[in-house]
Structure 1
């Protein structure tokens, strides 16, 4: 088991314990609601809500070709969850690198943040941006997809 799943598992276990206590005290409705809240929190803190991670070198190679941002993240980071949720469906357009799975990604984040693993760190055209506003990242995504489309039209 990797450390990415520790927080979600603990949330589900705590929710189960509280729900069991509520059930034994005679309030099964409250137990079910409580368990649902803990399961939802576990889901939000799990790696499942993020697009599939790629390696740093692959993300950088792809970004150099199409100009899309590279987002360095880690599970359990509330700022990463905020960015992911606020990007909505457009998050799939960026290249996501889980720094807990990719040592090169962790090194790239430390290099961009004075030795700290501060995430989310977004790389756009080779320049790092630490914890940028989601609206700004969305704008960068729309720029990269529109320029990619125009590049594709020129070659047709």
Structure 2
């Protein structure tokens, strides 16, 4: 659980330390920027994650793609941001909180945990473009 929040904690800590070191109004701005960025890369910025088994069962029912991701991943953040309101139409699996999800990604990405990895009923994509993912649904 702590690994999931590591990036966010690190960014907030940098903001606090830098804010105190810089001081005054510029320090407050520095702090605010790092806190906002920390919130963006946190697990809370993504739709509710489900397990790999739940995602596969749901995909069998509705056919929506599964997106494997991890907190702190800039490519996952870019994909999530570009999907905007459509993000809820996909099944999101956090590979840091679900070992089976991580194993699925490793089986697709030649033993690596490269995310985002998107799995449809018939195909898999490792770090696809946001436009390709939008066209899948």
Superposed pair shares fold, TM > 0.5: yes
Q: Which ranges in structure 1 are unaligned for 5 or more consecutive residues? A: 142-156
* Counterpart mapping for 1:61-76 below 5 A: 61-76=57-72
Please report the TM-score for the alignment, with normalisation by the length of structure 1.
Answer: 0.85
Equivalent residue number for residue 14 of structure 1: 14
CA-atom RMSD, angstroms? 1.0
For residue 129 of structure 2, the aligned residue among 133, 140, 143 is 133
Larger Rg: 1
Residue 127 of structure 1: CA displacement? 1.9
Deviations 1:49-101 (A, max 9, x none): 10000010110111111110000000111110010001001011100000001
Correspondence 1:124 to 2:120: yes
SS at match of 1:16: helix
Correspondence 1:56 to 2:15: no
Correspondence 1:113 to 2:102: no
Residue 126 of structure 1: CA displacement? 3.8
Say how many residue pairs are matched: 137
Q: Which ranges in structure 2 are unaligned for 5 or more consecutive residues? A: none
Q: Which runs of 4+ in 1 moved over 2 A?
A: none
Deviations 1:134-155 (A, max 9, x none): 11111112xxxxxxxxxxxxxx
Please report the TM-score for the alignment, with normalisation by the length of structure 2.
Answer: 0.96
